[in-house]
Amino acid sequence: MLQDSYGGTLLLIITCGLFFLLALLALLLLPLRLKFGLKIITGLIINGLLVCIGMALTWQQDIRHHQQWYGNSYQQNDGLLICVTEPLITKPKTYKIAGRVQALLRNDSVIPCKGHLLVYLSRDTTSDNPPLKYGDRFITRQKIQLIRNSGNPGAFNYQRYTALQQIFHQVFIKEGGYTKLPGHQRQPFRQFIFSTREYVLNVLRKNIGHNKEALGVAEALLIGYTNDLDKDLLQAYSNTGVVHIIAISGMHLALIYFLLSGLLKKIPFLYQYARPRALLVLAGLWMFALLTGAAASVLRAAVMFTFITIGDTVKKKSCIYNSLAAAAFLMLVYNPGYLWEVGFQLSYLAVISIVVFQKPVYQWFAISNSLLDKTWKLAAISLAAQVLTFPVCIYYFHQFPNLFLVTNMVAVPLSGLVLYIEIALVCFSWFTPVAAFAGKLVGWLVSGMNAFISRVNQLPFAVWDQLPATIATTLLLYALVILLATWLLNKYMLALKWALFCGLGFTVIHACHAWQWSRQQKMIVYQVPKHRAIDFIAGRRYFFVGDSAVREAGVLQHFHLKPARIHYQVRPVPLPARLQQFGMAYQFNDKRIVLVDDHFRFNIPEKKLEVHIIVLSNNPNITITQLAAIFNSGCYVFDASNSLWKIDKWKKECEELLLRSYSVPEQGAFVWDITQ
């Protein structure tokens, strides 16, 4: 903690020093009246100042630098007084709770503190009623744990994701491991938001019917509620390039904005009063943004439309670039962590890309037919949005939806229609005949859209998958795209030359990576909770050993194994030539690996067998002493299919016998480079 604070302070001091050096250099060069030098130095000074401000805000808003943060005072035997800050999220075996720590309980003293953490509460699967609600307070003495990543190569950095939300710890509470306090602490406005969300969800569930897939998409499309969304269907939407219609974004805010503006202009006593009409539009926009959870992409759109509405009200024509810049500045002042959120980045890139490229793309064809012209205009928007978003999409998701244009042409207008019908459904929920008809219509339309997306996703060429990307290749790809666009739009030949240079650099870097991938030899023991999952990688191929539940394509494989296989650019093969299998023993080149599970049977040999790695899985009833009598092993690896208490027991045995051990649940995935 002290090291982190010192490092942030030191970095801030260095940046401020560079800023003042640049200012001094500008003053020295000012009499020379250099043509471009002064502009460049002035730009550097402004950027340096903004960087200083950003770093100062980032440091100040990091709760770990606050003296009252509970992490600075917490001791192992302390109790926690926690307040529930949001409605509980129901998981298969637990409830996920967003909690705010109000105090530490140490002996007979109460230490006031602050900070947020995640609470996982064991769930009674026979009851659907959550034991806690928003505003409830409870005491627990369960030990908090640092949030860690799985350690699987290429996996989503969950620790960084929660850190950006100022959440660094989690606590697991078994049944009876907490004491609920009487009363509650609820903020009226937040309670109103949560109650409204629950009311909207109940209206949708009552009127749409028992089609879970249609209901999940309808809930996500209207208010961004994704807990009922089918994971495979969500992946299909992602593969076909239309996931943005169920991830609340600027498109939804634009639809709400035009709906409110159009309706309020039809009201006679509001038609002539611009300011009250603007206030009602802004109130509706921000209410919708808060109902959907106020994600970064939604806040960006809400702030931008706020500037546009204010500009129209005071008869000032707004510039879209100024509105975007002002919205970004205000959001980053409020929370600098937004800069690293994927939704924030994609939202701004999509809007800028549409503003810059939609008109040139639309002008490719001149269409006289009105219907075809509107269709082409929609297609031009989809094409323009991809120009600046596809490099960052490849970087984060490692895939490109080849049929995005086809799916967007159908899904975007259809989702807009569904959104308007859902709003009407909620508004007229009190009138049963209208609500029932609207609910059936929403269910029918969403089911049709789901069927269309699923069929497109089943096409073999629907998605270009497993695309490699690094920060260097992504930056070069952006440079290539921008330079090519500059050449095409402005006929600037120098831009074409630099684009070719960036393309060459991109090709060279990718070729170097391809050479490394072709020579790699690794064994990976993945961290998949309660499952065994091992990959043997030889060049661009892998051989999987593990449970059937992980072997089948699904959520487990997609979430835990696929990122590593993309990271190493490998494809499946029955058995690599360099890998030989002898029952539960494998020889990879000159390395020998033994897999020990609950079916392992042994006889003590006259001479110990030399092996390099022993992997224990599925809680075998065996001790390290017994294994050490059979094998001379360089390392014992305990995978995530074992119980933690058993792993602790084996680790103690290894320490007593002076043997190396590795716990996958505690240390993350075990990656062994065979060539070393």
pLDDT digits (tens, 9 = 90+) for 333-353: 788 878 888 888 888 888 888
Helix or strand holding residue 491 (H, E): none
Looking at residue 272, its pLDDT comes to 67
- The number of C-alpha atoms within 13 Å of 24 and in the hemisphere containing its C-beta is 6
**What distance lies between CA 263 and its chain's CA centroid?**
36
In angstroms, the CA 390 to CA 340 distance is 17
Greater pLDDT, 553 or 44: 553
| DSSP percent split of the chain into helix, strand, coil, nearest 5 | 55, 15, 25
Higher pLDDT, 276 or 423: 423
Taking 60 as the threshold, does the pLDDT of residue 145 lie above it?
A: yes
* pLDDT for residue 35 is more than 70: no
| pLDDT at position 230 | 86
Report the Cα 277 to chain-centroid distance in Å. Answer: 37
191-226: pLDDT as tens digits = 888 888 888 889 999 988 778 888 889 988 888 888
Cβ density class 459-489: b for 16+ within 10 Å, e for less: eeebbeeebbbeeebbebbbbbbbbbbbbee
pLDDT grade for 32, boundaries at 50, 70 and 90: very low
Residue 636, pLDDT score: 93
- Determine the residue type at 227: N
Strand order across the beta sheet in which 609-616 lies: 579-582, 585-588, 591-596, 609-616, 631-638, 661-663
Which residue, 47, 41, 55, is CA-closest to 13?
Answer: 55
Residue 360 has pLDDT above 60, yes or no: yes
Instruction: Give the CB-side neighbour count of residue 610, counting CA atoms within 13 A.
Output: 2
Report the distance separating Cα 637 and Cα 660, nearest Å. Answer: 9
| 206 vs 318, higher pLDDT | 206
Nearest to 11 by CA among 54, 45, 40, 44: 54
Q: 91 and 123 in contact (C-beta within 8 Å)?
A: yes
Handedness of CA 405, 406, 408, 412 (dihedral sign): positive
Q: How confident is the model at residue 93 (pLDDT cuts 50, 70, 90)?
A: confident
Could you report the per-residue pLDDT of 486-520, keeping only the tens digit for each?
888 888 888 888 889 989 999 999 999 999 999 99
pLDDT of residue 33: 47
The per-residue pLDDT for 3 is 35
Distance (Å, whole) CA 115 – CA 90: 23
Give yes or no for a contact between 313 and 278, defined as CB atoms under 8 angstroms apart.
yes
**For residues 129 and 135, is the Cβ–Cβ distance under 8 A?**
no
Burial (Cβ within 10 Å: 0-12, 13-18, ≥19) of residue 83: buried
DSSP type of residue 12: H
> H-type helices in 133-273, by residue range?
158-163, 188-208, 212-223, 231-239, 250-266, 268-271
Q: Which amino acid is at 459?
A: L
Predicted local confidence at residue 504, as pLDDT: 94
Closest CA to 534 of 518, 551, 552: 551
With 60 as the cut, is the pLDDT of residue 16 above it?
A: no
Q: What is the mean pLDDT of residues 256-280?
A: 75
User: What whole-number distance in Å separates Cα of residue 81 and Cα of residue 318?
Assistant: 49
* 3 state DSSP class of 441: helix
pLDDT of residue 19: 52
Strand ranges, E, within 87-221: 89-90, 94-106, 109-112, 116-122, 136-140, 145-146, 167-173, 178-184
End-to-end CA distance of the chain: 34
Instruction: Report the 10 Å Cβ neighbour count for 75.
Output: 7
Question: Of all residues in the chain, what percent carry a pLDDT higher than 70?
Answer: 90
Question: Given a cut of 50, is residue 654 above it in pLDDT?
Answer: yes
| pLDDT, tens digit, 9 for 90 and up, residues 65-80 | 888 899 888 888 888 9
User: In 310-457, where do the E strands start and end?
Assistant: 400-401
418 near 445, Cβ under 8 Å?
Answer: yes
Question: Rounded distance, CA 521 to CA 673, Å?
Answer: 6
* The predicted structure's pLDDT at residue 38: 56
More confident residue, 411 or 251: 411
Half-sphere exposure of 115 (CA within 13 A, CB side): 30
Report residue 42's pLDDT band, with 50, 70 and 90 as the boundaries.
low
Mark residue 398 as left, alpha or beta (left: phi above 0; alpha: psi -120 to 50; beta: remaining). Answer: left
Q: How far apart are CA 59 and CA 10, in angstroms?
A: 11
List b or e across 521-558, with b for residues whose CB sees 16 or more CB atoms inside 10 angstroms.
bbbbbbbbeebbbbbbbbbebbbbbbbeebeeeeebbe
Q: Is the per-residue pLDDT at 181 higher than 70?
A: yes
pLDDT of residue 11 exceeding 50: no
- Give strand pairing partners of 633: 611
